[in-house]
Amino acid sequence: MTTVSLTVNGQSVTADVDPRTLLVQFLRENLRLTGTHVGCDTSQCGACVVHLNGQAVKACTILAVQADASVVTTIEGIAEGGELHPMQSAFREHHGLQCGYCTPGMIMSAIDIVNRKGSDLDEQTIRAELEGNLCRCTGYHNIVKAVAAGARAMARAPLQQAAE
């Protein structure tokens, strides 16, 4: 067993883990943060995307020990004061989900896109940037609309964006 200490959604966490434990397993099984999903086990679907030190990563490709001393934000950690993050609200308002399984990873990736590319995103950019996130239910039309709306909303809510 190896001891890891990290900050998850603003809370300090220390635990003993098997060195082979993936970050996604640690979040789901040790911390019971089940919003981060496992969809493929091959790092292709993006259902497991979280933010590690402010950057989107697929938590199924990172060992928990590699995240030692890091800051992790999951889908459970982006709402603030009972208010949904602007990107979460946009996905709800623009029906950017169907079954919802991919939604946490899509939202976490979308926030990262806005943080890297800014809030003025065109459809082509959004589609290209979401390439590593798969949705098996939709044709992505409403997801793209939701990301664009969420990006505009994040521009109007700079305090929440800065919290990422």
Half-sphere exposure of 94 (CA within 13 A, CB side): 23
In 40-158, the DSSP E strands lie at: 49-52, 55-58, 71-73
Band (pLDDT 50/70/90 cuts) for residue 100 is confident
| Extents of the domains making up the chain | 2-75, 86-163
pLDDT at 158: 61
Q: pTM to 2 decimals? A: 0.92
Q: Centre a 10 Å sphere on the Cβ of residue 55 and count the other Cβ atoms it contains.
A: 11
pLDDT digits (tens, 9 = 90+) for 141-159: 999 999 999 999 999 876 5
**What are the beta bridge partners of residue 14?**
5
Q: What is the full DSSP assignment across 19-38?
A: TT-BHHHIIIIIS--TTS--
Going by the DSSP 8-state scheme, the letter that residue 85 receives in this structure is P
Q: Centre a 10 Å sphere on the Cβ of residue 40 and count the other Cβ atoms it contains.
A: 14
Per CATH, 2-75 and 86-163 having the same topology is answered no
CATH of 2-75, one of 3.20.20.70, 3.40.630.10, 3.10.20.30, 3.30.930.10: 3.10.20.30
SS3 at position 153: helix
Q: Does domain 86-163 have CATH number 1.10.150.120?
A: yes
For the cut 80, the answer to whether the pLDDT of residue 41 exceeds it is no
Look-up of token digits 């939709």: 138
